[in-house]
Chains A and B, each alone.
Chain A
Amino acid sequence: MGPLINPQQIINGLQLGSIYALIALGYTMVYGIVRLINFAHGDFFMIGAYAAYAAFFAFNAMVAGRTGTLAFIVLVIAMATSASVAWLANKLAYKPLRYKPKLSSLITAIGVSMFIEYFFSAFPAIGASYRAFPEIIPRRDIHIGPAVVSNLVLIDLAVAAILMIGLTLLVRRTTLGKAMRAVSQDKDAARLMGIDIEMVISFTFLIGGAFAGAAGLLAGMTYPRIFPYMGILPGLKAFIAAVLGGIGNIPGAMLGAYIMGIAETFASAYNSLIGEGIAFAILILVLLIRPTGLLGEKIADKI
Protein backbone atom coordinates (compact mmCIF):
# COMPACT_ATOMS: atom_id res chain seq x y z
CA MET A 1 0.00 0.00 0.00
CA GLY A 2 1.32 3.44 -0.89
CA PRO A 3 2.55 5.80 1.78
CA LEU A 4 -0.19 8.36 1.17
CA ILE A 5 -3.28 6.29 1.91
CA ASN A 6 -2.35 3.88 4.60
CA PRO A 7 -4.24 2.96 7.78
CA GLN A 8 -0.93 2.70 9.59
CA GLN A 9 -0.31 6.37 8.96
CA ILE A 10 -3.75 7.31 10.24
CA ILE A 11 -3.07 5.42 13.46
CA ASN A 12 0.32 7.10 13.86
CA GLY A 13 -1.30 10.44 13.11
CA LEU A 14 -3.96 9.92 15.76
CA GLN A 15 -1.24 9.01 18.24
CA LEU A 16 0.75 12.16 17.51
CA GLY A 17 -2.50 14.14 17.45
CA SER A 18 -3.35 12.88 20.95
CA ILE A 19 -0.12 14.34 22.29
CA TYR A 20 -0.65 17.61 20.43
CA ALA A 21 -4.23 17.75 21.70
CA LEU A 22 -3.19 17.52 25.34
CA ILE A 23 -0.72 20.38 24.83
CA ALA A 24 -3.04 22.45 22.63
CA LEU A 25 -5.80 22.36 25.26
CA GLY A 26 -3.59 24.19 27.75
CA TYR A 27 -2.77 26.86 25.18
CA THR A 28 -6.37 27.36 24.25
CA MET A 29 -7.76 27.32 27.80
CA VAL A 30 -5.25 29.85 29.06
CA TYR A 31 -5.83 32.01 26.00
CA GLY A 32 -9.58 31.74 26.49
CA ILE A 33 -9.41 32.91 30.05
CA VAL A 34 -6.65 35.53 30.13
CA ARG A 35 -6.07 36.24 26.41
CA LEU A 36 -2.44 35.25 26.82
CA ILE A 37 -0.48 33.03 24.46
CA ASN A 38 1.58 31.25 27.06
CA PHE A 39 4.75 30.51 25.15
CA ALA A 40 6.13 28.68 28.18
CA HIS A 41 3.46 26.03 27.76
CA GLY A 42 5.69 23.74 25.68
CA ASP A 43 8.16 23.78 28.55
CA PHE A 44 5.51 22.47 30.94
CA PHE A 45 5.30 19.53 28.54
CA MET A 46 9.08 19.05 28.80
CA ILE A 47 8.90 19.25 32.60
CA GLY A 48 6.27 16.52 32.55
CA ALA A 49 8.62 14.25 30.63
CA TYR A 50 11.47 14.88 33.10
CA ALA A 51 9.17 14.43 36.10
CA ALA A 52 8.05 11.11 34.64
CA TYR A 53 11.68 10.13 34.09
CA ALA A 54 12.55 10.93 37.72
CA ALA A 55 9.41 9.28 39.06
CA PHE A 56 10.18 6.10 37.13
CA PHE A 57 13.56 5.70 38.80
CA ALA A 58 12.21 6.71 42.20
CA PHE A 59 9.39 4.17 42.20
CA ASN A 60 10.58 1.42 39.87
CA ALA A 61 12.10 -0.70 42.62
CA MET A 62 9.31 0.00 45.06
CA VAL A 63 6.49 -1.39 42.93
CA ALA A 64 8.67 -3.98 41.21
CA GLY A 65 6.84 -5.81 38.48
CA ARG A 66 3.50 -4.07 38.73
CA THR A 67 3.70 -2.13 35.49
CA GLY A 68 0.20 -0.67 35.67
CA THR A 69 0.68 0.74 39.16
CA LEU A 70 4.04 2.20 38.20
CA ALA A 71 2.66 3.83 35.05
CA PHE A 72 -0.19 5.34 37.02
CA ILE A 73 2.15 6.77 39.69
CA VAL A 74 4.41 8.18 36.99
CA LEU A 75 1.43 9.76 35.21
CA VAL A 76 0.15 11.40 38.39
CA ILE A 77 3.61 12.77 39.25
CA ALA A 78 4.17 14.09 35.72
CA MET A 79 0.77 15.83 35.76
CA ALA A 80 1.22 17.21 39.28
CA THR A 81 4.71 18.55 38.57
CA SER A 82 3.76 20.33 35.36
CA ALA A 83 0.59 21.64 36.98
CA SER A 84 2.61 23.10 39.87
CA VAL A 85 5.08 24.78 37.53
CA ALA A 86 2.22 26.23 35.45
CA TRP A 87 0.53 27.46 38.61
CA LEU A 88 3.76 29.03 39.82
CA ALA A 89 4.45 30.68 36.45
CA ASN A 90 1.02 32.28 36.62
CA LYS A 91 1.46 33.45 40.20
CA LEU A 92 4.98 34.82 39.81
CA ALA A 93 5.13 36.00 36.22
CA TYR A 94 1.68 36.60 34.75
CA LYS A 95 -0.52 37.68 37.63
CA PRO A 96 1.47 40.86 38.44
CA LEU A 97 1.01 41.93 34.80
CA ARG A 98 -2.69 41.05 34.54
CA TYR A 99 -3.96 44.60 34.05
CA LYS A 100 -0.90 45.85 32.18
CA PRO A 101 -0.67 45.97 28.37
CA LYS A 102 -1.00 42.50 26.83
CA LEU A 103 2.40 42.75 25.18
CA SER A 104 4.10 42.75 28.60
CA SER A 105 2.67 39.32 29.46
CA LEU A 106 3.49 37.98 26.02
CA ILE A 107 7.14 38.99 26.31
CA THR A 108 7.17 37.66 29.87
CA ALA A 109 5.88 34.32 28.60
CA ILE A 110 8.80 34.10 26.21
CA GLY A 111 11.07 34.97 29.16
CA VAL A 112 9.53 32.27 31.34
CA SER A 113 10.02 29.77 28.53
CA MET A 114 13.69 30.63 28.09
CA PHE A 115 14.25 30.66 31.83
CA ILE A 116 12.88 27.13 32.19
CA GLU A 117 14.86 25.80 29.24
CA TYR A 118 18.19 27.33 30.24
CA PHE A 119 17.69 26.60 33.92
CA PHE A 120 17.07 22.96 33.11
CA SER A 121 20.13 22.79 30.84
CA ALA A 122 22.34 24.44 33.43
CA PHE A 123 21.05 22.38 36.32
CA PRO A 124 23.66 19.64 36.85
CA ALA A 125 21.19 16.88 37.65
CA ILE A 126 19.43 17.46 34.33
CA GLY A 127 21.93 18.90 31.88
CA ALA A 128 21.57 19.91 28.26
CA SER A 129 22.12 16.50 26.69
CA TYR A 130 19.66 13.92 25.50
CA ARG A 131 18.51 11.19 27.81
CA ALA A 132 16.99 7.87 26.89
CA PHE A 133 13.50 7.61 28.33
CA PRO A 134 13.01 4.34 30.21
CA GLU A 135 10.57 1.73 28.96
CA ILE A 136 7.88 2.16 31.59
CA ILE A 137 5.48 -0.14 29.80
CA PRO A 138 7.12 -2.77 27.56
CA ARG A 139 6.11 -2.35 23.95
CA ARG A 140 3.93 -5.03 22.40
CA ASP A 141 2.60 -5.07 18.87
CA ILE A 142 -0.97 -5.92 18.01
CA HIS A 143 -1.81 -6.74 14.40
CA ILE A 144 -5.13 -5.46 13.09
CA GLY A 145 -5.50 -6.30 9.40
CA PRO A 146 -2.66 -4.66 7.50
CA ALA A 147 -1.84 -2.28 10.33
CA VAL A 148 0.37 -2.81 13.33
CA VAL A 149 -0.78 -1.12 16.51
CA SER A 150 1.50 -1.06 19.48
CA ASN A 151 0.08 -1.07 22.98
CA LEU A 152 1.69 2.36 23.39
CA VAL A 153 -0.57 3.75 20.66
CA LEU A 154 -3.61 2.45 22.47
CA ILE A 155 -2.35 3.90 25.75
CA ASP A 156 -1.70 7.31 24.18
CA LEU A 157 -5.14 7.36 22.59
CA ALA A 158 -6.86 6.14 25.74
CA VAL A 159 -5.13 8.51 28.16
CA ALA A 160 -5.81 11.48 25.88
CA ALA A 161 -9.43 10.42 25.39
CA ILE A 162 -10.06 9.97 29.12
CA LEU A 163 -8.52 13.32 29.98
CA MET A 164 -10.40 15.12 27.20
CA ILE A 165 -13.73 13.58 28.17
CA GLY A 166 -13.03 14.53 31.79
CA LEU A 167 -12.23 18.09 30.77
CA THR A 168 -15.34 18.37 28.63
CA LEU A 169 -17.50 17.18 31.52
CA LEU A 170 -15.75 19.56 33.90
CA VAL A 171 -16.24 22.57 31.65
CA ARG A 172 -19.80 21.78 30.59
CA ARG A 173 -21.34 20.26 33.70
CA THR A 174 -19.69 21.55 36.85
CA THR A 175 -20.19 24.93 38.48
CA LEU A 176 -16.46 25.52 38.35
CA GLY A 177 -16.52 24.81 34.61
CA LYS A 178 -19.35 27.28 34.17
CA ALA A 179 -17.32 29.81 36.13
CA MET A 180 -14.39 29.20 33.79
CA ARG A 181 -16.59 29.89 30.79
CA ALA A 182 -18.04 32.96 32.50
CA VAL A 183 -14.60 34.38 33.29
CA SER A 184 -13.48 33.81 29.71
CA GLN A 185 -16.52 35.68 28.42
CA ASP A 186 -16.73 38.64 30.75
CA LYS A 187 -14.44 39.16 33.74
CA ASP A 188 -16.35 42.07 35.25
CA ALA A 189 -19.66 40.23 35.09
CA ALA A 190 -18.01 37.16 36.64
CA ARG A 191 -16.67 39.28 39.50
CA LEU A 192 -20.15 40.69 40.07
CA MET A 193 -21.42 37.12 40.52
CA GLY A 194 -18.94 36.87 43.39
CA ILE A 195 -16.49 34.71 41.45
CA ASP A 196 -12.87 35.06 42.53
CA ILE A 197 -11.46 35.27 39.02
CA GLU A 198 -7.86 34.82 40.15
CA MET A 199 -8.84 31.49 41.68
CA VAL A 200 -10.46 30.43 38.40
CA ILE A 201 -7.42 31.57 36.42
CA SER A 202 -5.09 29.62 38.76
CA PHE A 203 -7.26 26.56 38.32
CA THR A 204 -7.09 26.91 34.53
CA PHE A 205 -3.29 27.02 34.65
CA LEU A 206 -3.32 23.92 36.87
CA ILE A 207 -5.46 21.95 34.42
CA GLY A 208 -3.49 23.16 31.39
CA GLY A 209 -0.21 22.29 33.11
CA ALA A 210 -1.45 18.86 34.16
CA PHE A 211 -2.48 18.05 30.58
CA ALA A 212 0.91 19.17 29.27
CA GLY A 213 2.55 16.97 31.92
CA ALA A 214 0.53 13.95 30.79
CA ALA A 215 1.55 14.72 27.20
CA GLY A 216 5.19 14.84 28.34
CA LEU A 217 4.95 11.33 29.75
CA LEU A 218 3.17 9.98 26.66
CA ALA A 219 5.72 11.62 24.36
CA GLY A 220 8.56 10.17 26.44
CA MET A 221 7.12 6.68 26.16
CA THR A 222 6.37 7.00 22.47
CA TYR A 223 9.48 8.84 21.27
CA PRO A 224 11.90 7.74 24.02
CA ARG A 225 14.39 10.59 24.01
CA ILE A 226 14.10 13.67 26.21
CA PHE A 227 16.04 16.93 26.44
CA PRO A 228 15.43 20.39 27.90
CA TYR A 229 14.47 21.92 24.55
CA MET A 230 12.06 19.15 23.57
CA GLY A 231 9.07 21.38 24.35
CA ILE A 232 9.79 24.04 21.77
CA LEU A 233 8.64 22.36 18.57
CA PRO A 234 5.71 20.34 19.93
CA GLY A 235 4.70 23.49 21.82
CA LEU A 236 4.70 25.54 18.63
CA LYS A 237 2.86 22.86 16.71
CA ALA A 238 0.26 22.45 19.43
CA PHE A 239 -0.17 26.22 19.43
CA ILE A 240 -0.75 26.10 15.68
CA ALA A 241 -3.24 23.28 16.24
CA ALA A 242 -5.08 25.51 18.70
CA VAL A 243 -5.10 28.34 16.16
CA LEU A 244 -6.31 25.92 13.47
CA GLY A 245 -9.21 24.88 15.68
CA GLY A 246 -9.95 28.44 16.79
CA ILE A 247 -7.89 29.65 19.71
CA GLY A 248 -9.88 29.78 22.93
CA ASN A 249 -12.19 27.00 21.72
CA ILE A 250 -11.76 23.66 23.55
CA PRO A 251 -13.29 21.25 20.98
CA GLY A 252 -11.44 23.28 18.34
CA ALA A 253 -8.08 22.55 19.97
CA MET A 254 -8.82 18.81 19.96
CA LEU A 255 -9.94 18.86 16.33
CA GLY A 256 -6.99 21.01 15.24
CA ALA A 257 -4.53 18.75 17.05
CA TYR A 258 -5.76 15.57 15.38
CA ILE A 259 -5.79 17.21 11.94
CA MET A 260 -2.26 18.41 12.63
CA GLY A 261 -1.09 14.99 13.84
CA ILE A 262 -2.47 13.22 10.79
CA ALA A 263 -1.19 15.88 8.37
CA GLU A 264 2.27 15.69 9.88
CA THR A 265 2.42 11.89 9.76
CA PHE A 266 1.24 11.78 6.16
CA ALA A 267 3.62 14.51 5.10
CA SER A 268 6.52 12.83 6.93
CA ALA A 269 5.78 9.57 5.15
CA TYR A 270 6.20 11.47 1.91
CA ASN A 271 9.26 13.45 2.96
CA SER A 272 10.53 14.09 6.48
CA LEU A 273 11.39 17.74 5.76
CA ILE A 274 7.88 18.40 4.53
CA GLY A 275 6.64 16.64 7.65
CA GLU A 276 8.51 19.08 9.87
CA GLY A 277 7.28 22.06 7.87
CA ILE A 278 3.64 21.11 7.32
CA ALA A 279 2.52 22.67 10.61
CA PHE A 280 3.80 26.06 9.53
CA ALA A 281 2.23 25.70 6.10
CA ILE A 282 -1.06 24.99 7.88
CA LEU A 283 -0.58 28.09 10.04
CA ILE A 284 -0.06 30.29 7.00
CA LEU A 285 -3.10 28.82 5.27
CA VAL A 286 -5.29 29.30 8.34
CA LEU A 287 -4.18 32.89 8.77
CA LEU A 288 -4.85 33.60 5.09
CA ILE A 289 -8.13 31.76 4.63
CA ARG A 290 -9.80 31.55 8.03
CA PRO A 291 -7.95 33.48 10.74
CA THR A 292 -10.63 32.62 13.31
CA GLY A 293 -9.87 28.90 12.95
CA LEU A 294 -12.24 26.07 12.13
CA LEU A 295 -14.52 26.39 15.16
CA GLY A 296 -13.64 29.91 16.26
CA GLU A 297 -16.19 32.60 15.69
CA LYS A 298 -15.07 35.95 16.92
CA ILE A 299 -11.83 37.38 15.64
CA ALA A 300 -9.34 37.60 18.47
CA ASP A 301 -8.78 41.28 19.06
CA LYS A 302 -5.77 41.00 21.31
CA ILE A 303 -2.70 38.86 21.53
Chain B
Amino acid sequence: MLSVKNLKVCYGKIEALKDVSFEVPKGKIVTLIGANGAGKTTTLRAISGLEKVTSGTITFKDRDITNLDAHKIVPLGISHVPEGRKIFPTLTVKENLELAGWTIRDKAEVRRRMEEVYDIFPRIRERANQLGGTLSGGEQQMLAVGRALVTGGELLLLDEPSMGLAPVLVDEIFNQIVAINKRGITVLLVEQNASEALDIADYAYILEVGYTTISGEAKAIAEDQRVREAYLGV
Protein backbone atom coordinates (compact mmCIF):
# COMPACT_ATOMS: atom_id res chain seq x y z
CA MET B 1 0.00 0.00 0.00
CA LEU B 2 2.82 2.36 0.96
CA SER B 3 6.26 2.00 -0.45
CA VAL B 4 9.20 4.18 0.54
CA LYS B 5 12.37 3.88 -1.54
CA ASN B 6 15.80 5.38 -0.83
CA LEU B 7 14.29 8.30 1.01
CA LYS B 8 16.61 11.20 1.77
CA VAL B 9 15.53 14.31 3.69
CA CYS B 10 17.78 17.22 4.63
CA TYR B 11 17.34 20.07 7.09
CA GLY B 12 19.65 22.62 5.59
CA LYS B 13 22.95 20.82 5.37
CA ILE B 14 22.06 18.14 7.89
CA GLU B 15 20.86 14.85 6.44
CA ALA B 16 18.12 13.66 8.74
CA LEU B 17 17.34 10.66 6.55
CA LYS B 18 20.09 9.22 4.40
CA ASP B 19 18.63 6.09 2.87
CA VAL B 20 15.32 4.84 4.19
CA SER B 21 13.34 2.13 2.41
CA PHE B 22 10.40 0.10 3.62
CA GLU B 23 7.02 -1.29 2.64
CA VAL B 24 3.69 -1.17 4.40
CA PRO B 25 1.36 -3.88 3.10
CA LYS B 26 -2.39 -3.28 3.15
CA GLY B 27 -4.16 -4.25 6.35
CA LYS B 28 -1.02 -4.76 8.40
CA ILE B 29 0.63 -2.99 11.31
CA VAL B 30 4.20 -2.01 10.53
CA THR B 31 6.43 -0.43 13.11
CA LEU B 32 9.55 1.70 12.77
CA ILE B 33 11.79 1.40 15.79
CA GLY B 34 14.78 3.52 16.56
CA ALA B 35 16.52 5.70 19.09
CA ASN B 36 16.00 9.43 19.46
CA GLY B 37 17.23 11.22 16.37
CA ALA B 38 17.20 8.12 14.20
CA GLY B 39 14.76 9.81 11.83
CA LYS B 40 11.44 8.18 12.74
CA THR B 41 9.46 11.40 13.00
CA THR B 42 11.09 12.83 9.87
CA THR B 43 10.09 9.71 7.95
CA LEU B 44 6.44 10.14 8.89
CA ARG B 45 6.55 13.88 8.17
CA ALA B 46 7.98 13.21 4.72
CA ILE B 47 5.21 10.70 3.98
CA SER B 48 2.41 13.08 4.95
CA GLY B 49 4.00 15.98 3.07
CA LEU B 50 5.08 18.12 6.03
CA GLU B 51 8.74 17.77 5.07
CA LYS B 52 10.30 18.22 1.63
CA VAL B 53 12.04 15.16 0.26
CA THR B 54 15.53 15.64 -1.18
CA SER B 55 15.57 12.38 -3.13
CA GLY B 56 13.88 9.00 -3.22
CA THR B 57 10.24 8.16 -3.79
CA ILE B 58 7.13 7.63 -1.73
CA THR B 59 4.38 5.65 -3.43
CA PHE B 60 0.89 5.27 -1.97
CA LYS B 61 -1.63 2.99 -3.66
CA ASP B 62 0.53 2.97 -6.82
CA ARG B 63 0.59 6.74 -6.94
CA ASP B 64 3.78 8.79 -6.53
CA ILE B 65 3.09 11.22 -3.67
CA THR B 66 6.68 12.42 -3.18
CA ASN B 67 6.69 16.14 -2.34
CA LEU B 68 2.95 16.52 -2.78
CA ASP B 69 1.46 19.22 -0.49
CA ALA B 70 0.17 17.88 2.82
CA HIS B 71 -3.38 19.06 2.20
CA LYS B 72 -3.46 17.12 -1.07
CA ILE B 73 -2.16 13.93 0.55
CA VAL B 74 -4.84 13.84 3.27
CA PRO B 75 -7.78 13.22 0.88
CA LEU B 76 -5.81 10.44 -0.85
CA GLY B 77 -6.17 8.46 2.36
CA ILE B 78 -3.27 9.07 4.73
CA SER B 79 -4.01 10.25 8.26
CA HIS B 80 -1.11 11.29 10.45
CA VAL B 81 -1.25 11.54 14.24
CA PRO B 82 1.79 13.72 14.87
CA GLU B 83 4.35 13.59 17.62
CA GLY B 84 3.09 15.47 20.66
CA ARG B 85 -0.52 15.07 19.38
CA LYS B 86 -0.84 18.71 18.32
CA ILE B 87 -4.38 19.23 19.52
CA PHE B 88 -5.69 22.76 18.82
CA PRO B 89 -5.71 24.05 22.42
CA THR B 90 -8.30 26.83 22.13
CA LEU B 91 -10.71 24.89 19.95
CA THR B 92 -13.19 22.60 21.65
CA VAL B 93 -12.87 18.84 21.33
CA LYS B 94 -15.87 18.89 18.98
CA GLU B 95 -14.30 21.64 16.84
CA ASN B 96 -11.05 19.69 16.70
CA LEU B 97 -12.97 16.73 15.28
CA GLU B 98 -15.03 18.87 12.89
CA LEU B 99 -11.87 20.34 11.37
CA ALA B 100 -10.57 16.86 10.72
CA GLY B 101 -13.48 16.53 8.28
CA TRP B 102 -12.26 19.57 6.31
CA THR B 103 -11.66 17.67 3.08
CA ILE B 104 -14.92 15.72 3.24
CA ARG B 105 -17.75 17.39 1.32
CA ASP B 106 -20.53 15.34 2.86
CA LYS B 107 -20.95 16.88 6.33
CA ALA B 108 -23.42 14.16 7.39
CA GLU B 109 -20.57 11.70 6.85
CA VAL B 110 -18.34 13.83 9.10
CA ARG B 111 -20.98 13.74 11.84
CA ARG B 112 -21.32 9.96 11.43
CA ARG B 113 -17.57 9.51 11.82
CA MET B 114 -17.55 11.79 14.86
CA GLU B 115 -20.20 9.58 16.45
CA GLU B 116 -17.98 6.60 15.72
CA VAL B 117 -15.06 8.29 17.47
CA TYR B 118 -17.30 9.08 20.45
CA ASP B 119 -18.28 5.40 20.58
CA ILE B 120 -14.67 4.25 20.50
CA PHE B 121 -13.55 6.83 23.07
CA PRO B 122 -16.46 7.59 25.45
CA ARG B 123 -14.15 9.92 27.39
CA ILE B 124 -13.93 12.13 24.32
CA ARG B 125 -17.73 12.32 24.11
CA GLU B 126 -17.85 13.48 27.75
CA ARG B 127 -15.33 16.19 26.97
CA ALA B 128 -16.86 17.27 23.64
CA ASN B 129 -17.46 20.89 24.65
CA GLN B 130 -14.22 21.36 26.57
CA LEU B 131 -11.24 23.16 25.07
CA GLY B 132 -8.61 20.84 23.61
CA GLY B 133 -5.95 22.37 25.84
CA THR B 134 -7.75 21.27 29.00
CA LEU B 135 -7.54 17.55 28.21
CA SER B 136 -5.11 15.22 29.97
CA GLY B 137 -2.31 13.63 27.97
CA GLY B 138 -4.21 10.39 27.50
CA GLU B 139 -7.37 12.18 26.41
CA GLN B 140 -5.38 14.31 23.98
CA GLN B 141 -3.95 11.14 22.46
CA MET B 142 -7.46 9.72 22.09
CA LEU B 143 -8.60 12.96 20.46
CA ALA B 144 -5.59 12.95 18.12
CA VAL B 145 -6.42 9.39 17.03
CA GLY B 146 -10.08 10.43 16.81
CA ARG B 147 -9.20 13.26 14.44
CA ALA B 148 -7.28 10.85 12.24
CA LEU B 149 -10.33 8.55 12.15
CA VAL B 150 -12.57 11.45 11.07
CA THR B 151 -10.01 12.36 8.40
CA GLY B 152 -10.72 8.82 7.31
CA GLY B 153 -7.39 7.62 5.92
CA GLU B 154 -6.89 4.02 4.92
CA LEU B 155 -3.34 4.39 6.21
CA LEU B 156 -2.81 5.69 9.74
CA LEU B 157 0.59 7.10 10.67
CA LEU B 158 1.13 7.14 14.43
CA ASP B 159 4.07 9.00 15.92
CA GLU B 160 4.93 7.88 19.47
CA PRO B 161 1.36 7.42 20.69
CA SER B 162 2.64 6.18 24.06
CA MET B 163 4.85 9.17 24.77
CA GLY B 164 4.36 10.62 28.23
CA LEU B 165 1.45 8.37 29.12
CA ALA B 166 0.96 6.31 32.30
CA PRO B 167 1.51 2.55 31.69
CA VAL B 168 -2.19 1.74 32.06
CA LEU B 169 -3.01 4.29 29.35
CA VAL B 170 -0.24 2.95 27.12
CA ASP B 171 -1.93 -0.46 27.18
CA GLU B 172 -5.28 1.11 26.36
CA ILE B 173 -3.87 3.07 23.43
CA PHE B 174 -2.14 -0.03 22.03
CA ASN B 175 -5.36 -2.02 22.38
CA GLN B 176 -7.15 0.70 20.44
CA ILE B 177 -4.52 0.60 17.70
CA VAL B 178 -5.12 -3.13 17.29
CA ALA B 179 -8.88 -2.54 17.24
CA ILE B 180 -8.54 0.19 14.62
CA ASN B 181 -6.36 -2.11 12.51
CA LYS B 182 -9.03 -4.82 12.75
CA ARG B 183 -11.47 -2.38 11.13
CA GLY B 184 -9.30 -2.55 8.04
CA ILE B 185 -7.06 0.46 8.57
CA THR B 186 -3.40 -0.08 7.80
CA VAL B 187 -1.08 1.26 10.50
CA LEU B 188 2.46 2.61 10.37
CA LEU B 189 3.58 2.97 13.97
CA VAL B 190 6.66 4.81 15.14
CA GLU B 191 7.70 4.00 18.69
CA GLN B 192 10.46 4.19 21.22
CA ASN B 193 8.55 1.72 23.31
CA ALA B 194 9.90 -1.13 21.17
CA SER B 195 8.57 -4.11 23.10
CA GLU B 196 4.93 -2.93 23.05
CA ALA B 197 5.22 -1.98 19.38
CA LEU B 198 6.72 -5.33 18.38
CA ASP B 199 3.95 -7.07 20.32
CA ILE B 200 1.20 -5.70 18.11
CA ALA B 201 3.05 -5.25 14.79
CA ASP B 202 3.20 -7.63 11.84
CA TYR B 203 6.43 -6.25 10.43
CA ALA B 204 9.18 -4.11 11.85
CA TYR B 205 12.01 -1.99 10.55
CA ILE B 206 14.90 -0.70 12.62
CA LEU B 207 15.96 2.85 11.84
CA GLU B 208 19.49 3.91 12.76
CA VAL B 209 20.89 7.40 12.13
CA GLY B 210 19.00 7.87 8.91
CA TYR B 211 19.19 4.32 7.54
CA THR B 212 16.82 1.37 7.69
CA THR B 213 19.11 -1.39 8.86
CA ILE B 214 17.23 -4.45 10.06
CA SER B 215 13.82 -5.56 8.88
CA GLY B 216 11.53 -8.53 9.08
CA GLU B 217 8.46 -9.99 10.75
CA ALA B 218 7.90 -8.39 14.13
CA LYS B 219 8.19 -11.75 15.97
CA ALA B 220 11.55 -12.48 14.37
CA ILE B 221 12.80 -8.98 15.09
CA ALA B 222 11.79 -9.34 18.72
CA GLU B 223 14.02 -12.45 18.88
CA ASP B 224 16.94 -10.83 17.07
CA GLN B 225 19.91 -10.62 19.42
CA ARG B 226 21.06 -7.18 18.17
CA VAL B 227 17.58 -5.71 18.57
CA ARG B 228 17.13 -7.28 21.99
CA GLU B 229 20.32 -5.71 23.24
CA ALA B 230 19.85 -2.28 21.70
CA TYR B 231 16.11 -1.68 22.01
CA LEU B 232 14.52 -4.16 24.36
CA GLY B 233 17.07 -3.93 27.15
CA VAL B 234 17.65 -7.68 27.49
Which A residues lie at the B interface, using CB under 8 A?
175, 178-179, 181-182, 185-186, 188-197
Contact residue range for chain B? Answer: 20 to 34
Q: Report chain A residues within 8 Å CB of B98.
A: 175, 178
Q: Report chain B residues within 8 Å CB of A175.
A: 98-99, 102
Interface assignment of B197: CB less than 8 Å from any CB of chain A: no
Q: Report chain A residues within 8 Å CB of B70.
A: 191-192, 194
Are A185 and B99 within 8 A (Cβ)?
A: no
Are B75 and A194 within 8 A (Cβ)?
A: yes
Q: Report chain A residues within 8 Å CB of B48.
A: 192
A299 to chain B, nearest CB (A): 16
Majority SS at the chain A contact face:
helix
Flag B50-66 by CB within 8 Å of A: 1 or 0 each: 10000000000000000
Interface assignment of B113: CB less than 8 Å from any CB of chain A: no
Interface assignment of B226: CB less than 8 Å from any CB of chain A: no
The CA-CA distance from A121 to B89 in the complex, in Å, is 46
Q: A175-B102, A178-B98, A179-B102 are in contact. Are A189 and B88 (CB under 8 A)?
A: yes
Q: List 17 A-B contacts (CB under 8 A).
A: A179-B99, A179-B102, A181-B90, A185-B91, A186-B86, A186-B88, A191-B71, A192-B48, A192-B70, A192-B80, A192-B82, A193-B74, A193-B103, A193-B147, A194-B74, A195-B99, A196-B69
The CA-CA distance from A178 to B100 in the complex, in Å, is 11
A191 to chain B, nearest CB (A): 4
A192 closest partner in B (C-beta): B80
Which of A181, A186, A189, A192 has the most chain B CB within a 10 Å cutoff?
A192
Flag B85-98 by CB within 8 Å of A: 1 or 0 each: 01111110001001
Interface assignment of B49: CB less than 8 Å from any CB of chain A: yes
Are A185 and B88 within 8 A (Cβ)?
A: yes
Q: Report chain A residues within 8 Å CB of B69.
A: 191, 196
Which of A175, A179, A193, A196 has the most chain B CB within a 10 Å cutoff?
A193
The CA-CA distance from A192 to B73 in the complex, in Å, is 9
A197 closest partner in B (C-beta): B71
A91 to chain B, nearest CB (A): 17
Interface assignment of B151: CB less than 8 Å from any CB of chain A: yes
Are A194 and B102 within 8 A (Cβ)?
A: yes
Q: A178-B98, A179-B99, A188-B50 are in contact. Are A194 and B151 (CB under 8 A)?
A: yes
Q: Report chain A residues within 8 Å CB of B79.
A: 192
List the 5 shortest-distance A-B pairs measured between CB atoms, nearest first. A194-B74, A194-B103, A189-B86, A191-B70, A196-B71
Q: Report chain B residues within 8 Å CB of A191.
A: 49-50, 69-71
Q: Report chain A residues within 8 Å CB of B50.
A: 188, 191-192
The CA-CA distance from A197 to B103 in the complex, in Å, is 13
Q: A181-B88, A185-B90 are in contact. Are A193 and B151 (CB under 8 A)?
A: yes
Which of B80, B88, B89 has the most chain A CB within a 10 Å cutoff?
B88
Q: Report chain B residues within 8 Å CB of A181.
A: 88, 90-91
A176 closest partner in B (C-beta): B102
Q: Report chain B residues within 8 Å CB of A194.
A: 70-71, 74-75, 102-103, 151
B70 closest partner in A (C-beta): A191
Question: Which positions 194-210 of chain B face chain A at CB distance < 8 Å?
Answer: none
Which of A181, A185, A186, A194 has the most chain B CB within a 10 Å cutoff?
A194
Q: Report chain A residues within 8 Å CB of B86.
A: 186, 188-189, 192
B185 to chain A, nearest CB (A): 16
A41 to chain B, nearest CB (A): 24
Flag B1-20 by CB within 8 Å of A: 1 or 0 each: 00000000000000000000
